[in-house]
Chains A and B, each alone.
Chain A
Amino acid sequence: MLSIPILLTIAWLLPLGSFLAILFWAPRLGKHGSAAGLLATVAIAASFVCALAAASLWFTKYPIPSAESHHPPYGASGSQPHSQDTRLADPSARESASAPGLWTQGKAASKTQGPSQLILWNAPSDRSGSTERSSRPDQASRVSPRHELANSPTREPLGPVPLLTGDWYVLAEFGHLRLTLGYYIDTLTILMVLMVTLVATLIHIYSLGYMHEELHPEVSDQEILAGDPPQPIRRPGRFARFFQYLSLFCFSMLGLVLANNLFMIFIFWELVGICSYLLIGFYLERPQAVRAASKAFIVNRVGDFGMLVGLAAWWGAAGTFHFADSPRSLGLFSRVAQAELDHNRTGQVVSPGIREQPSGQVVNNPDYPERPVAYGLLVLGGLGVFCGCVGKSAQFPLHVWLPDAMEGPTPVSALIHAATMVAAGVYLVGRFYPAFPPEVLLVVAVVGLASLLLAGMMALAATEIKRVLAFSTISQLGLMMFALGVGGWTAGLFHLLTHAFFKALLFLGAGSVIHCVGTGDMGQMGGLVRKIPWTAGTMLVGCLAIAGAGIPPWVGLSGFHSKDAVLAQAYLLMNYIPGIGHLLFSLALIGAAMTAFYMFRLWYLVFWGRPRSLDQLHHAHESPPVMVVPLVVLSVFAIIAGWRLPGLGWGIAPALEQARPISFISGQWWPWWVVPPEAESHQDSIHVVVSWLAFTAAAVGFVLATLFYGTGLFRLPSGVGVLNGLVLLLQRRFFIDELYQRLFVAPALHLASWAALIDRKIIDNLAEKLAAAVVAVANSGDLLDRKVVDGSLVGLGQGIYGLGRQLRQVQTGLLRQYLLAVVVGTIVIFVLVQFL
């Protein structure tokens, strides 16, 4: 029986199989490894099919809520949590779920029975609480804002979140501490797996064409000249190796998405990092590629350092990495909720091993002898995990690696550095959302906004086509982070999914352009629309999608819907926290306008106007169909990904609603900071206003770009010092790289050389001095031996000799004297023996 977990497990393992097959049999896979590409593509396509099957099973079992309401929470139509029983798949889970509650714990099959299934039903703890919604922040802060969310009149009481989780296998076990690999499947997982496998499949197909050159036994790399006279370096083609890495990446990414605990996330977090390293450095002859690869990995490691600290904090505080409860212990989310509960019942300390269920009965849980989690640790743990996300998602201040990462082949940039891996940071924030206290969410929002604006500005001045897209990626990821930070869980993840399609499309389009003209420098392009119409057309769709084009407030490309959702949440913040909310919202709007501007700048520079380099234009030709077809498919998704299925109302956003976390933490430190409930942002009043505002912002950006780059009516005045300085500042990325070089890299290298110096000059010196001292002592001992000891011995010998000579005089030969001597001697001895 192919259940959902098994299907997804197969989808996860297929790329691993492809990786291993290519690893071991690469030379035998067709001519120069040509079959390797096919193998990897088939594997990931099969993964996609499995994911599709799993998704269809999932959505039959847990259908997306119907369309009549604009934004119904899952289970609202059924309205009563008692209807859970009908949806439960696993009978063993049913009995435990019959007592709905915050920590209702499913009974999983024992671990000997293979992957166990556990359905966890999360429900708010207090259904009969106050229904009065306060829009005043100061009041709201006293009750948890998300408590309030659960009870707000705009929503029905929240239904349960459908969830499948279980462990694949245990890596290590220390008492109640368990490290396992396992799956955690909810709608978010399903959607992510679908997105990753779909985008990856298309990019695999595209790569078959794009990497075609690597099929030759010998490739000459025009970018590296060596030897005398300088010639392009010749190297063996690495077609199979490319697909090998891609397969490993897909495996790691799917593992990351499926993970049911932080430990497993960390494992695959690092693995996608190393795949990214290998693929950025794919052209390993190019020093800049190798440098970029190392930089990417090390900057990511800085983030991982924070994540490791966060993990250690969680481990020390909660003793578990699992998100959901298991039959053996509570999961992190429940622990957090427990901490929340402990704080609310001030003074009531829950003694170790005992926990109280909402229904009031006290359960003795010997597996769980833990202390309550302190609030400071919650914040620290949350910040640590977010630090990892900052690194992976290239957010400010760890964004420096992503632009350099464009040294890798373009399909890699599309798959890893735009659509999937860099989105993993956003995904993890979304996944770990219930454990983030509001203080951490504020940090998330601020970091996201900073990235949105800074990267957007950098994109304004970039001249390399892939760099513009890289900055745009950072910027859009910042927008997602911002959305999550201000409470827009669905909005942020919705944008993540739509962004994956149109950003992959844009990158692949850029790759197609580079493939055609042989350079990424936009200064040498222009007027390509007639030469490569398919690429130009699909890229236009991508630009429109990312800019958020549409007919407000009804319909638009995918970016229109998702960006709307984000901005609506920011708009809502204005109602809650007037001053700061206004600031954040307007900054986000500016970010949206910048997005439209730089994207159309790119499009005009590449495809419009007069060609700036006739030479390039002359050689330009449309890409082969194997590259164009993925472009077309992706542009279709870029258009429709935000839509709802007419009649049924199915779509990504409502599906995500189904998985929205319901547990919550109320802030302890900053009472003014309130995370507004997302449901309110769906109100029509907000929706209409925001969609018009967003549209206007995008239109402003578009019009400006058209004026400056499309029509040539306006030009940036050259020679103005301020402007030149500004452009330089943006092109050098605010000198942040240089700053890091000065602040961190150089001191680290200095420290390193000091360490080596200390070793040589001080410690070794000391040891050698010590040895020399010992030798000196030995020498003086030798002297002592010869002069004193030897001397005394010699003296003794001489003395004895002298004594003998003197004694000889005593030897008279006279018997009497001898006898006398014997007698006297005997008496002396006798006396001595007697008295001593």
Chain B
Amino acid sequence: MQQLAEALTSPFVILSAIVFLPLLGALTVAVAPRLTEEETKIFSLWITILVLILVLWLAIPGAVDGRLGSLPWDQGRVQYGFSVGWIEAFGVYYFLGLDGINFPLVLLTALLGPLAMLASFGIDRQVRAYCALFLLLHAGMLGVFISLDLFLFYVFWEVVLLPMYFLIGVWGGPRKEYAAIKFFLFTLAGSVLMLVAILLLYFYSDLRLLNEVSLRACQIDPAVLSGKRGQAVHTFNMLALAELARLPQSPFDQDFWGLPVSVWIFWLLMIGFLIKLPAVPLHTWLPDAHVEAPTPISMLLAGVLLKMGGYGILRLCYTICPDAAYQFAWPICAVALVSMVYGALAAMAQSDFKRLVAYSSVSHMGYVLLGLAAWTIVPGDPSSRHYWTMGMSGAVYQMIAHGITSAGMFFLVGVVYDRVHHRDLSQFGGLFNRMPFYSAVSLIIFFAAMGLPGLCGFIGEFFVVVASWRFYPGVAMVAASVVILTAGYILWTVARVFFGPQYRGPHPEALTDMTVREKWVAIPLAVTAVILGIYPKLLLGYFQPSVTRTVYHLATWADRHLETSTTATGPQAKPLGETKFVPSQISSAASLSQTSPGLAHPSLPHGGPARPDGSKNSSTETDGASAPSPLAEGSTVTGQRPEGVLDQAIVRPGADQPKGTGLVEGRR
């Protein structure tokens, strides 16, 4: 019985269920002949709710390992995942996993799924096809975030593309064909570039460079290396690729048409993701797609699809190509600033309510890019990385917050559009008295988008702006100036829609307040916006360790590769030379049983300032490692800095030891 329960709660079952439940639902909807339209919608809704329940179950502290009071996410690495062979001849694995970076996005997707489905109840044409495509889209989005194998990631990426094309093209507004084709072409161009980058990554990767411990950490069976002494062993494993990029002699430093291959990879991926994000000037698909898409699809498009870009940048560009990220921090920041300012200005000029919201997305996603790109690390100054941690956390936070607010705004626009069938801002007014509940919720959502403190939009914006000062003060100033423009277009919109003497457009009689179903969509969004605004730690708790860890890796990379610029400041800046880093482990239940039950011991106090436990661990490892220079950085940090978010992220030394004893053996 217990075994059955364990089997049912294994990562394989849970994660596969999260991805494939919607897929199964889509199949069922497509082939089951008996369901009426209403039943189809309700069935689809239940599927999405089931997914939400599964994801929420993962979010509860201690739900996975049965220990209460311990978030499984406080380790910063992939905590919960598995990998089984798929097309093993080409190194393709069915590798799903969750860490702090993708989990909030999965949570967001799972939350928006049922809400968008609920908002879809107004769809009355070809309902069954709509629901099938919707669920397929849902599965694709979840798959993009959960999969840790690049090939799988790409497959899901394309899976998202197709249903979206049809959902816009069939159920969209008057110019739906144009919008759908535009969306399709832009995104396809991006994914083709991505494909090239993925192939480059694949063919330049070589698993033989990694030792056994690293391989296991990436959920790769070291046996794949056996019998292939002669040739390189390529991989699609995202974690392994990141490991390879962190090696002192990274295989991605090789030359390719005059530039390091990592630069090519960085830009190919980056352009693909910038299209998705979207960043100016690759953004024009977005307003058209949003305006023409039906309301629930706009919600998902803005709420989730744009985040795939941000996620990809964070997960792939920055972890795999740190040198390019460092080299091109300025251009990327410039793109971010242009997006922020340009998007806000363009939003101000719109007279179409939905277009305005669409442009505000461009502006808001600029914050995400800026937070990710503003490289504040100064080698030798251990405090500098905290600013990037802050900026990057702000970026992730902004992704979630924007997911909530933009989905909310598109929904709210849809609500009035359903009633009066126009979106012309100059023809609204006076809705405050006609639709009081609607107006109240709208004010919350719009103010959240404006970045009002106490609502979710503020946290991310503030973090990003304030942290970017350390990158360059002028960047922070430009970013800060956007708050004026944002207030401008939001308040102007509020004034034109909700205030004023009376409604000026057609169908004034149709302006009734929200229905119960609409309230069920709007209230969760508004409540989430408030909760995330006043208690950011709720979300930060999930992703901050992972972000800290990412920044830590970038910082160690910087310490190693930018040492020429660090002449001063003490022992921290010493080149780390031959010390090789062993990545931390994946401590999914599966790998846990194989390696060490104590590895991911989650009973460490969560996020507390002092973590004697953690620092003790690190020091014992340092002692245990017989390597000549056991990670000067790590030991300094643990010695000097008792407050320990970083301590978890410290990479274990001693990788070069022949036995491959890392932490695992040491702790036994």
B386 and A177 within 8 A (CB): yes
B453 and A266 within 8 A (CB): yes
B491 and A297 within 8 A (CB): yes
CB neighbours (8 Å) of A752 from chain B are 345-349
B646 and A175 within 8 A (CB): yes
Closest to B347 in A: A752
Interface centre among A175, A309, A764 (most CB of B within 10 A): A175
Q: Cβ of A312 < 8 Å from any Cβ of B?
A: yes
Q: How far is the CA of A574 from the CA of B297 in the complex (A)?
A: 70
CB neighbours (8 Å) of A233 from chain B are 501-502
Given A175-B386, A315-B466, are A764 and B502 also a contact pair (CB < 8 Å)? no
CB neighbours (8 Å) of B285 from chain A are 767
CB neighbours (8 Å) of A287 from chain B are 500-501
Q: How far is the CA of A400 from the CA of B476 in the complex (A)?
A: 27
Q: Cβ of B484 < 8 Å from any Cβ of A?
A: yes
Closest to A315 in B: B466
Q: Shortest distance in angstroms between A759's beta carbon and chain B's nearest beta carbon?
A: 6
B500 and A284 within 8 A (CB): yes
Which of B182, B501, B540, B609 is A285 in contact with, Cβ under 8 Å? B501
Q: How far is the CA of A173 from the CA of B547 in the complex (A)?
A: 13
Interface centre among A274, A277, A308 (most CB of B within 10 A): A308
Interface flags, A143-187, vs B, CB<8A=1, else 0: 000000000000000000000000000111111110000000000
Q: How far is the CA of A752 from the CA of B342 in the complex (A)?
A: 8
Which of B185, B465, B544, B641 is A771 in contact with, Cβ under 8 Å? B185
A316 and B643 within 8 A (CB): no
A312 and B453 within 8 A (CB): no
Interface centre among B284, B466, B536 (most CB of A within 10 A): B466
Which of B349, B453, B645 is A174 in contact with, Cβ under 8 Å? B645
Q: How far is the CA of A285 from the CA of B502 in the complex (A)?
A: 7
Q: Shortest distance in angstroms between A6's beta carbon and chain B's nearest beta carbon?
A: 21
Closest to A756 in B: B349
Q: Shortest distance in angstroms between A276's beta carbon and chain B's nearest beta carbon?
A: 13
- The stretch among A364-372, A428-436, A714-722 that forms the contact with chain B is A364-372
A301 and B487 within 8 A (CB): yes
For chain B, the count of residues having a C-beta within 8 Å of the partner chain is 73
CB neighbours (8 Å) of B598 from chain A are none
Which of A111, A177, A298, A755 is B345 in contact with, Cβ under 8 Å? A755
- The stretch among B213-221, B387-395, B414-422 that forms the contact with chain A is B387-395
Given A287-B501, A298-B487, A755-B349, are A177 and B480 also a contact pair (CB < 8 Å)? no
Given A285-B500, A290-B495, A759-B287, are A177 and B387 also a contact pair (CB < 8 Å)? yes
Q: Cβ of A281 < 8 Å from any Cβ of B?
A: yes
Interface flags, A317-344, vs B, CB<8A=1, else 0: 0010000000010000000000000000
Q: How far is the CA of A297 from the CA of B293 in the complex (A)?
A: 33
Q: Shortest distance in angstroms between B638's beta carbon and chain A's nearest beta carbon?
A: 11
Which of A171, A353, A369, A767 is B537 in contact with, Cβ under 8 Å? A171
CB neighbours (8 Å) of B473 from chain A are 312-313, 316
Q: How far is the CA of A479 from the CA of B272 in the complex (A)?
A: 57
A175 and B348 within 8 A (CB): no
Closest to A110 in B: B609
Q: Shortest distance in angstroms between A760's beta carbon and chain B's nearest beta carbon?
A: 9
Which of A305, A315, A755 is B342 in contact with, Cβ under 8 Å? A755
Q: Cβ of B281 < 8 Å from any Cβ of A?
A: yes
B484 and A301 within 8 A (CB): yes
B382-413 interface (Cβ within 8 A of A) = 382-383, 385-387, 389-390, 393
Q: Cβ of A267 < 8 Å from any Cβ of B?
A: yes
Which of A267, A302, A319, A763 is B383 in contact with, Cβ under 8 Å? A319
CB neighbours (8 Å) of B281 from chain A are 763
CB neighbours (8 Å) of B226 from chain A are none
B484 and A309 within 8 A (CB): no
A236 and B345 within 8 A (CB): no
Q: Shortest distance in angstroms between B482's beta carbon and chain A's nearest beta carbon?
A: 9
Q: How far is the CA of A271 from the CA of B393 in the complex (A)?
A: 24
Q: Cβ of B607 < 8 Å from any Cβ of A?
A: yes
Q: How far is the CA of A233 from the CA of B499 in the complex (A)?
A: 13
Q: Cβ of B433 < 8 Å from any Cβ of A?
A: yes
Q: Shortest distance in angstroms between A384's beta carbon and chain B's nearest beta carbon?
A: 9
Which of B383, B469, B492, B495 is A175 in contact with, Cβ under 8 Å? B383
Q: How far is the CA of A172 from the CA of B387 in the complex (A)?
A: 12
B452 and A270 within 8 A (CB): yes
Interface of A is mostly: helix
A759 and B346 within 8 A (CB): yes
Q: How far is the CA of A267 from the CA of B609 in the complex (A)?
A: 25
Closest to B645 in A: A175
Given A174-B645, A764-B284, are A312 and B349 also a contact pair (CB < 8 Å)? no
Q: Cβ of B454 < 8 Å from any Cβ of A?
A: yes
Given A177-B390, A313-B469, A749-B348, are A236 and B484 also a contact pair (CB < 8 Å)? no
B393 and A174 within 8 A (CB): yes
CB neighbours (8 Å) of B393 from chain A are 172, 174
Kindly state the interface size class of chain A when it binds its partner.
35 or more
Q: Shortest distance in angstroms between B326's beta carbon and chain A's nearest beta carbon?
A: 19
Interface centre among A233, A315, A763 (most CB of B within 10 A): A315
Q: How far is the CA of A281 from the CA of B432 in the complex (A)?
A: 12
A170 and B389 within 8 A (CB): no
Q: Cβ of A133 < 8 Å from any Cβ of B?
A: no
CB neighbours (8 Å) of B483 from chain A are 301, 304-305, 308
Which of A271, A286, A308, A328 is B609 in contact with, Cβ under 8 Å? A328
A176 and B386 within 8 A (CB): yes
Q: How far is the CA of A265 from the CA of B537 in the complex (A)?
A: 20
A366 and B641 within 8 A (CB): yes
Q: Cβ of A753 < 8 Å from any Cβ of B?
A: yes
Q: Cβ of B337 < 8 Å from any Cβ of A?
A: no
Interface flags, B509-530, vs A, CB<8A=1, else 0: 0000000000000000000000
B463-477 interface (Cβ within 8 A of A) = 463, 465-470, 473, 476-477
Q: How far is the CA of A663 from the CA of B320 in the complex (A)?
A: 49
CB neighbours (8 Å) of A755 from chain B are 342, 345-346, 349
A366 and B569 within 8 A (CB): no
A312 and B350 within 8 A (CB): no
Q: Cβ of B430 < 8 Å from any Cβ of A?
A: yes
Q: Cβ of A294 < 8 Å from any Cβ of B?
A: yes
Interface centre among A174, A305, A315, A369 (most CB of B within 10 A): A174
Closest to A289 in B: B499
B284 and A271 within 8 A (CB): no
Which of A274, A753, A759 is B284 in contact with, Cβ under 8 Å? A759
Q: Cβ of B594 < 8 Å from any Cβ of A?
A: no
B643 and A302 within 8 A (CB): no
Closest to A225 in B: B501
Given A236-B433, A305-B483, A752-B345, are A294 and B569 also a contact pair (CB < 8 Å)? no
Which of A263, A267, A277, A754 is B454 in contact with, Cβ under 8 Å? A267
Given A175-B389, A301-B483, are A353 and B640 also a contact pair (CB < 8 Å)? yes
A727-764 interface (Cβ within 8 A of B) = 748-749, 751-756, 759, 763-764
Q: Shortest distance in angstroms between B363's beta carbon and chain A's nearest beta carbon?
A: 11
B606-622 interface (Cβ within 8 A of A) = 607, 609
CB neighbours (8 Å) of A294 from chain B are 491-492, 495
23 contacts between A and B (CB under 8 A): A174-B386, A175-B389, A226-B501, A267-B453, A271-B452, A271-B454, A284-B500, A285-B430, A298-B484, A302-B484, A305-B480, A312-B468, A312-B477, A316-B387, A316-B470, A316-B476, A319-B383, A749-B348, A751-B345, A752-B345, A752-B348, A756-B346, A767-B284
Closest 5 CB pairs of A and B: A175-B386, A756-B349, A316-B469, A312-B469, A267-B453
A sample of 9 more A-B contacts (CB under 8 A), given A226-B501, A285-B499, is: A176-B383, A266-B453, A266-B462, A267-B454, A286-B501, A290-B500, A308-B466, A328-B609, A369-B381
Residues of A in contact with B (beta carbons under 8 Å apart): 111, 170-177, 224, 226, 233, 235-236, 263, 266-268, 270-271, 274, 277, 281, 284-287, 290-291, 293-294, 297-298, 301-302, 304-305, 308-309, 311-313, 315-316, 319, 328, 352-353, 366-367, 369-371, 748-749, 751-756, 759, 763-764, 767, 771
